[in-house]
Structure 1
């Protein structure tokens, strides 16, 4: 009799757990819907207007009229998730179960990347400031150069001979130009590049933090925070510092590789990868890439003193310093064509104060 009672209790517990899991999934979907609605609302919403977006279309009016409905859904969903997590640990159990699957972590990161970067998929342009139009024009110029085989070239459209001469690193604009061959509208093409880089940056941040802490949970939390950080939205959409976008992907990778080079993990492959990432960063933008090298060097110096004690002897540290300096130097030398001119001909730049 007791065995039958125990079986019925277990069956009831399993049924309740599945029921609460279903409720949790619905609540999560409610939060996602509310977040997407909030992003759509910003296109024609009554927030800070940096430019005139024109007459709101019908869909924008529908979004505006339903704003309180979705805000209510967000509040109810959030309260539901808090209650279920605090009483039954439903969310934690679901995440652990998903992470335990072969591609579970990748699925979580992909979903987080798509949701947090959905503002790149919104209708309209993201060139809210004049800098955005200028940077997009430079990408179009590279595409025109490649399309007409005008190499080498000189143009007064921007930066005294860009992209093959000096004063502006062309790699980011070259990437947008290549996408423009597939997506004819360059404004949509640059949004697609932003979206892909945004999603990949979450994977990069997860890789770095997971390697640093040896914790998948810490990596997922870092990726979540990194993806939804308002600073990224502000820099790209409102300030329009488009060349800074690759830094959000390259910077975590650079820190990850610095750790591996210091600990001598991966051998030359880690060093070569660090040199490539460093060169790519400098070739995307000398200013942001240069500061990335400086910060990576400072970070590496700090990490030398946080290595496990039985490995942190003087000789080990010195070898780690030599490896780190060597591979960072290789990366800088590989991008010298776009880092040396701004430094040696600083008086010829448009804004000399930006350079040392």
Structure 2
């Protein structure tokens, strides 16, 4: 309790906070938390971080750990249920050209047959905290990210940063409460396992990226970790793959003359990422035997429209038959989620939102989709 009192006292000491902030900025630049500046990519600044860690109850942390394997399995089962995806997205593909084009690639892959039986899933669930007893849970799901689950390298350095600041602030007693993150190592292990399953030691891992990204340095942390494990990488964009990519006679993907074992998509999740050439390149990669992270079906499984459909009564049971405890764990994280389809149900949802706009959030169909989430 003494440590917390000291922390609250610091909040009323702007001069001390400024000193700590300067120390935190230096730590960021010295320890792998730089961000490229959009206006001048050759220059860097420090990553946006909090000065102190945010307190989270242990029960919340344990809930997130317990439910995540179930969410991972849910996403995988949805991606393999073509009938469910078609039914869930039937109205969305009529209203949203981007989702329609993704779904057309999905249908084409279904007709041609999956080029690779292996898919690598790297998912991130985003939550809000709500401890009101009437909601019956601690974590409330905002979205499931099956595509752009980024900032993996950044999180590894946040815990050391916060422990460093706590020490400088004289709050040694709180340092042991800040858990470590080893997401770079774990993500490298996942990519390595996919690369091993591809079973071609000369093949590389392709990072499909934008020219300038805020998590640019996170990519290289991961790439360097893979190099230490003897795995080479290619880091480039749609245009480069379009110009230098080709499929061999047995559907192996080659980019700039190098065989690709795994395509790790860090780009391609919003319409602005695509030109007509990019769409052709996405199809080329989907047709290849390279292991995708994610493949087109998993990309679609992460849309908000699918999330809205999952919140309907009885839908989760489709994917976890005779596993009521798993269904209960997942459903405990749900909030009210409502369709905006042109139907009586959608009209009721729109009326609810118009009557009480402060109680709802409108989520887009980009890395997600058309629904209202009650908060």
Instruction: Give TM-score scaled by structure 1 length.
Output: 0.30
Is the strand fraction higher in 1 or 2? 2
More helix as a share of residues? 1
**Higher relative contact order structure (alpha carbons within 8 Å, sequence separation ≥ 6):** 2
